[in-house]
Amino acid sequence: MPNIKKLIYVYLFVFASSVLFACKETPRDEPLKISDKIFDIKAKSGMMYKRGQQDSAIRFLDSAIAKIQLTSVEKWSVLNTKTAYFLNFKKRPDTALKLADSMVKVVEAKPALIKHYISALLVRGDVLMDFGLYEDAFDAYVRAGKISNSISKCYALSPKLGFLRYKQGFFQESIPYFKKGFNETLACADTSSFEQSFVSPQGLLNTIGLCFEKLKQPDSALFYYQKALRFIDERSLIFPNRTEFALMAKGVIYGNMATALMQKGQHQQTEKFLLKSIQINSQKGAENGDAQTARIKLINLYTLSKQYRKARLLIEEMENADSSFKNFTSQESIMKFLYAKWKFYDTVQDTKMAYINLERFHFLKDSTETANRSRQNVDVEHGLRDADRAQMLELLKKDAQSKQFLIVVAGIVIALIFVILFIVLKNLKRSKANIESLNAANNLVQNQYAQLTQVFSVLEKSHVENATIMKVVAHDLRGPVSGIVHAAKLILADEDLSENNFRMLQLVKDAGLNAISLINEMLNTHHGLGEKEPTDIARLLNDSMNLLQFKAEAKAQKISVTADHIIVLVNKDKISRVINNLLTNAIKFSGENDTITIAAVQQEQEVVISIADQGMGIPAHMGNGIFDMFSDNRRLGTASEESFGMGLAISKEIIESHGGRIWYTSIEGVGTTFYFSLPL
């Protein structure tokens, strides 16, 4: 039907153009947003177009931008408008195809304009489909679909494939595409957009009805036509200022309903709906092409029901209004009119006129069928299966590469495990030798005091060596473990990972991060006091709070700091580490929405810093054992965070090396307050 072609392209071009306004990124070389000047020019041109001044609108657009240096996005937008003009209004698909090709060239090879590139491919497919180059149109759609899969599903690909099958005459095969397209359109549409949430969905429902009409299934066709009418009534409440379009759309559907009713033999109802459709869409600015189609249907109805006088008057009326077919919207409309006249003249036995119209009808039909013969060979479903297979092969290739990488990582991890086992066994042997030395020294303690001193010296040296080895091991492990974490993060970035692989890699990453934290604490033990400098305690506390604020926010916790600007001579980095350790513990062992209070007050010759939480508290039996690096007093946090038990031991060593003290008070289930003092 002529009206369907117009509705199809309104739908397609609106969706292609809407991508422009969805993009917000800003590339380095030029802006993506249309300038206010170009926006105003396009708005004025658009108003002229809507008033029926299409030629003037395009002339104004060309002259207004002639001396303006356009960005890629602005060129894309102007070309999109002109493509729609030459395709839908001027009926010049050759010019429209050149413009669509220019659209593609303007934005291709520009990653920041990938969405515009996808839309340009879709528009090019629309033009190719109108040109009858269905295979090329299909290739353009599939190409756009492959690129868009990684960005968005809202590119209206299903309706386009449906229209392709529809134009090939495969009406049954096109219905699933239109149904899927209707659901996708409603899911993706901007509810404030008239085109996306009103025009396109009702057009798809109407087209589904047309498919059933072509399949001679009038009941199903009427079901979808009525569904489209209800949809229009519902959306008219949301867009009360668009009543003219709503009325035109209803007029189109009334004309289509008439065909289904004629198939059911309900001639009286058929005439009623056709007259209603003609009355609506014969108005100036309405869907005149559809009114023309409705008149042709009415001629057929009058001929079939033997109302020959009415049929003749309607034929003469249409011939007098447009004897050279200038206002007919397509070859198909002319053919339908010639066929209707032939049926009428043949029925009333006017052999001469019947022959003239039949001859003209067959001439147009033969030329159209010759042009269309090569267009029936594009199998959309087969093409999609081929595209899916190609995509699956690509995915399998990537999966094989990922698995190969995982095997390499697993090999590295196994090698690390063997290295660690070797070091552990070596340490065990050395520890065994130390124990034997201690036993020998203990047996000789009463008689050989001098030798005992020497043994202690040997033990001290052994202890230093053990600590050194531990740090060497920690240092050597940090690089490989960091590599494992980095590799896990890279693999996790792959969106094609299965849920099981994603969960295992997440565990690898988390375990690696915990190992790095433990290694860092091992390396920072016994580093000495270092250089002292005058430090503002209030500033140090606020810096720590800002650093760890994100951890607190993850559990909806609040941190407050109350501190005077007290200057203390300390090693700034060491004291900052103590504050971070205590604040991290407060966050770890506090629940959601709890408040953590940090304070610093001056008391005689020292400053006392306190960090109080409302967490789970410390059981009394743990006592000061929590400050022991090698104790078993390790607990999980309120969100199952792991604890290594080294932070408090390191903090105690740092504070005592500054001549201060560290202690705490706690009530289990109520909260804990840690204090430490620093001499002024």
Domains of the chain: 419-523 (no CATH), 533-679 (3.30.565.10)
What's the sign of the alpha-carbon dihedral 272, 277, 283, 289? Answer: negative
Q: What is the mean pLDDT of each run of 10 residues along the chain (680 residues)?
A: 44 44 46 81 82 83 89 89 84 86 88 83 84 80 75 70 82 91 81 84 94 95 96 93 91 95 94 94 83 92 94 90 65 87 93 91 78 51 51 51 77 87 83 75 64 61 64 73 84 83 78 68 61 92 89 92 93 90 92 95 93 92 81 78 78 92 93 95
Residues 439 and 10: their CA atoms lie apart, in Å, by 95
Scored b (16 or more CB within 10 A) or e, 259-295 reads bbbbbeeebeebbebbebbbebbbeeebbbbbbbbbb
Q: Of how many residues is the chain composed?
A: 680
Give the pLDDT of residue 215: 95
3-state secondary structure 479-523: HHHHHHHHHHHHHHCCCCCCHHHHHHHHHHHHHHHHHHHHHHHHH
- Output the CA–CA distances (angstroms, integers) from residue 493 to 298, 396, 487, 498, 652, in the order listed: 62, 17, 10, 12, 41
Give residue for tokens 């009858």: 132
Give the type of residue at 214: K
Among candidate residues 659, 642, 662, the one with its CA nearest the CA of residue 651: 662
Helix (H, G, I), strand (E, B) or coil at 152: coil
CB atoms within 10 A of CB 47: 11
Mode of pairing for the β-strands spanning 595-603 and 558-563: parallel
pLDDT at 498: 85
With vertex at residue 41, the alpha carbon angle to CA 37 and CA 42, rounded to the nearest 5 degrees, is 115
Tokens read off for 321: 């209004």
Query: What letter represents residue 138's amino acid?
Result: F
Q: Return the pLDDT at 636.
A: 83
Judge whether 494 and 622 are in contact, CB under 8 Å: no
Residue 353, pLDDT score: 93
Dihedrals phi, psi of 384, to nearest 5 degrees: -65, -40
Please identify which residue in the block is written with the tokens 């008219």.
236
The widest CA-to-CA distance across the chain, in whole angstroms, is 145
Nearest to 124 by CA among 170, 83, 176: 83
C-alpha–C-alpha distance, residues 510 and 513, integer Å: 5
For residue 142, give the nearest of 374, 379, 376 by alpha carbon: 379
Q: What is the pLDDT of residue 395?
A: 43
Give me the phi and psi of 174, to 5 degrees please: -80, -20
Chain Cα centroid distance, residue 179 = 23
Cα 612 to Cα 618: distance, rounded to the nearest angstrom: 13
String of DSSP letters for 311-367: HHHHHHHHHHH-TT-TT-S-HHHHHHHHHHHHHHHHHTT-HHHHHHHHHHHHHHHHH
Note the pLDDT of residue 323: 60
pLDDT at 386: 54
**How far apart are the C-alpha atoms of 448 and 614, rounded to whole Å?**
56
Q: Which residue type does 67 have?
A: K
What is the CB neighbour count within 10 angstroms for residue 372? Answer: 14
Burial 89-99 (b: 16+ CB within 10 A, else e): eeeebebbbeb
395-398: long-range contacts at Cβ-Cβ below 8 A with a sequence spacing of 24 or more? 395/496, 398/494, 398/496
Q: How many CA atoms lie within 13 A of 172 on its CB side?
A: 3
Tokens for 201, please give them: 């969905």
What CA–CA distance (Å, rounded) separates 249 from 286?
9
* Cα 639 from chain centre: 30
User: What are the C-alpha distances in Å from 4 to residues 178, 229, 363, 380?
Assistant: 13, 16, 25, 21
For residue 517, the model assigns a pLDDT of: 63
Query: Measured between alpha carbons, how far is 571 from 78 in angstroms, rounded to an integer?
Result: 65
Closest CA to 327 of 293, 289, 358: 289
Question: So what's the pLDDT on residue 424?
Answer: 85
How far apart, in whole angstroms, are the C-alpha atoms of residue 473 and residue 233? 75
pLDDT at 343: 93
Q: What backbone torsions phi and psi does residue 664 show, to the nearest 5 degrees?
A: -150, 160
Dist. CA 281–CA 250, nearest whole Å? 9
